[in-house]
Amino acid sequence: MVELLRTISDLRARLSAIRRNGAAIGLVPTMGALHAGHGRLLEKAVADGGFVVASIFVNPTQFHREDDFQSYPRDLATDLAFCERRNVDAAFVPDADEMYAGEPLTSVVVSGLTEHLCGPQRPGHFEGVATVVTKLLNIVQPDRAYFGEKDRQQLVVIHRVVKDLDIPVEIIGVPTVREPDGLALSSRNQLLSSEERQAATVLYRAIRKAEELVQAGETCPGEVMKQGLAVFESEPSARVEYFEVVDPQQLQPVDEIKAPVLIAGAAHLGATRLIDNILVEARE
C-alpha cells in the first residue's frame, strides 16, 4: 500500500532509512487530479527502480488567479488509489502551511526563459513553479525527478534551476500522452464541457499544421504561425492566448527555422486554459 506522508519531517525520516539501505530515490511532483499522463511519469519512475515518491500539492504560488486555484480539481482518495495501482512507494501530501511556513521571504526567479510563451500571460507563475520544485528537490533529495514534456517551458526552466543551483539530481522529461484525437492529457480537461472538449482539439491541430509546414521545408516562422493560427478559425469558441515558434532551449523567437524548433500554443475553451507543444526537427 502506498505510504501517505504529510509532513516534511516524516518524509525526511522515511527517506533517511531508505538511503541507509542504498536505494535510489525517484520523485514525481504533481498537483494531483492524476491521469494517464501522470501515470506515464509514475510508471517510468517505478521502471527505473528504487523508492518512488509522488508529491501531491496544489501549489498556490503558481496560480495567477485565485479562481483558477480554487477550481483546480482535487480528489486525494482517487489519486492515492492511482498511485497504489502503479506501485508508487510513498505519497507526500503536505498542506500550504507545511510547505510555506512563516510567510517565507525567499523565492527562485529564472529570467530569460520566462519572457515568452506562458510567462507574460501568467505573472509569477514560473517563480512559483521554480520555488516549489526547488523546495521539493531539497526536501526529497532524489536521484531522479520526472516531468512531462507537455509543460515544456516548465521542464526547460527546471533544467536551468538545477544547473544554476548545482542541485545533484537527474531531470527526466517524459513524452506527452494524448487522447486518440490528439488532445494532450491534462488535469484541466475534466473541467471542459462536452462541446468544449470537442473543440479543444483545435490547439493540437494548429500545432500539427505548423509542424507539417516546418517538415515540408518552410523556414519563415511568421508563415508557420500564420497558417497555424488560421486553423483556429474553424473553432470560434477557442480563444488563442499565444502561438509561437521558439528555440527549444532558450525559448526565444527565431528569425529563421534552420534547426529544431518548439511550436507551442495556449488557448482558452470557456473558462479552461489549455497548453500544448511539439518539438520539430527542421528539414535539412
Q: Which residues are catalytic?
A: 38
Q: Which cell numbers hold the place of 158?
A: 527546471
What is the DSSP secondary structure assignment for residue 2, as one 8-state letter? P
Give all strands of the β-sheet with 238-246 in edge-to-edge order.
Answer: 238-246, 261-269, 272-280
* DSSP 3-state of 149: helix
Compute φ and ψ for 242, nearest 5 degrees.
-155, 160
282, 214 Cβ separation under 8 angstroms = yes
Give all strands of the β-sheet with 25-30 in edge-to-edge order.
Answer: 3-5, 90-92, 51-56, 25-30, 144-148, 170-174
CA–CA distance, 231 with 255 (Å, rounded to integer) = 22
